[in-house]
């Protein structure tokens, strides 16, 4: 359940440290993002002297949520943090 | 599909039940129901919580070492489907379950041996010491002199099978 102003950890090696959600891509008036949703984020913390900088607006896909995620087979998974992976507009991850 | 064990109480988790929690170090905790999940969130140690299997095994209440436990070990290599193998496995599961539960019952029975005699002994002792709670001390003395325990032998006629009336 990620909404705007939510801080997320970064789950890849794209040199960003912390992201803050601004918008959720998809249907307008989408209130919350779950695992697999694409969100627009601003980079709040980054490793210095690297391609991604603080206050840069990028897109990310949510990979971990503290709110339980229900799979199709009935399994419920809960993570310990909220995390996302930085992607570009095509959907390819920026990290490796 | 795989039947997992609950991290807290060690019961089997069937598909569609329970919650899996993935910690940041990638360790997965599976819980069978919210009771176990909530106890985990309270940071309780299952080895100290009396109704869990971990506590019972640790304190010798339940059987710990047995040959039947070897059958249930987790194997990570997927087996190629073989109809005979599946059929034999299903049959074996039933037999192993029966044997294991029988052995667990005997283990608990052996643990409880001597409990009944202990209870009666303690009850007699309590009766001796606390008889004043039931009868007044004065009444006890009067009763003792009145009843002279004369043993009377009574012959009991046992009904043999032949004499018993046919149903």
Give pLDDT, residue B147.
56
Q: Which chain B residue's Cα is nearest to A65?
A: B22
Interface test with A, best of B22, B26, B30, B34 (most A CBs within 10 A): B22
Encoded tokens for B162? 């032949």
Query: The domain spanning residue B52 has which CATH number?
Result: 2.30.170.20
The total of structural domains in chain B comes to 2
| Whole-angstrom distance, CA of residue A77 vs CA of residue B22 | 7
Q: Which domain holds residue B70?
A: 63-133
B52 and B70 both lie in a single domain? no
Is residue B126 included in any domain, yes or no? yes
What Rg, from alpha-carbon coordinates, does chain B have?
A: 28
Q: Percentage of chain B surpassing pLDDT 70?
A: 88
The count of CB pairs under 8 A between chains A and B is 29
A40-83 residue pLDDT tens: 999 988 888 777 778 889 999 999 999 999 988 888 999 999 99
Identify the residue whose tokens are 């052995």.
B103
SS3 per residue for B4-22: EECCCCCCEECCCCCEEEE
B157 found inside a domain: no
What is the value of pTM for the model shown?
Answer: 0.71
The pLDDT, as a whole number, for residue B166 is 62
Query: Is B69 in the same domain as B102?
Result: yes
Q: Cβ distance A52 to A86 under 8 Å?
A: yes
Closest CA to A82 of A58, A51, A61: A61
Q: Is residue B12 part of a domain?
A: yes
Residue B15 lies in a domain: yes
pLDDT over 60 at B43, yes or no: yes
Q: What is the 3-state secondary structure (H, E, C) of B10-74?
A: CCEECCCCCEEEECCCCCEEEECCHHHHHHHHCCCCHHHCCCCHHHHHHCCCCCCCCHHHHHHCC
Shortest Cα–Cα distance, B28 to chain A (Å):
9
In angstroms, how far apart are the furthest CA atoms of chain A?
Answer: 45
Same domain, B41 and B2: yes
Could you give all domains of chain A from N- to C-terminal order, each with its CATH number? 7-87 (2.40.150.20)
């Amino acid at each position: 359940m990620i909404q705007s102003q939510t801080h997320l950890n970064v789950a890849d090696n794209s040199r960003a440290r912390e992201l803050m959600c601004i918008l959720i891509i998809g249907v307008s008036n989408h209130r919350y993002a779950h695992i697999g949703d694409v969100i627009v984020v601003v980079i709040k913390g980054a490793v210095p002297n690297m391609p991604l900088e603080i206050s840069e607006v990028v897109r990310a896909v949510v990979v971990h949520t503290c709110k339980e995620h229900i799979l199709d087979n009935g399994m419920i998974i809960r993570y310990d943090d909220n995390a996302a992976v930085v992607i570009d507009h095509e959907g390819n991850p920026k990290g490796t | 599909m795989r039947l997992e064990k609950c991290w807290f109480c060690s019961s089997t988790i069937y598909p569609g039940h329970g919650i899996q929690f993935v910690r940041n170090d990638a360790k997965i905790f599976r819980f069978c129901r919210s009771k176990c999940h909530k106890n985990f969130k309270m940071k309780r140690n299952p080895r100290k919580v009396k109704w869990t299997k971990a506590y019972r095994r640790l304190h010798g209440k339940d059987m710990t070492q047995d040959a039947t436990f070897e059958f249930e070990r987790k194997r990570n290599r997927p087996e190629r489907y073989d109809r005979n193998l599946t059929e034999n496995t299903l049959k074996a599961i039933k037999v192993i379950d029966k044997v294991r539960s029988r052995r667990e019952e005997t283990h608990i029975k052996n643990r409880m041996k001597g409990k009944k005699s202990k209870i009666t002994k303690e009850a007699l002792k309590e009766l001796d010491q606390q008889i004043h709670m039931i009868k007044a001390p004065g009444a006890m003395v009067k009763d003792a002199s009145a009843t002279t325990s004369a043993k009377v032998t009574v012959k009991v006629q046992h009904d043999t099978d032949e004499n018993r009336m046919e149903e």
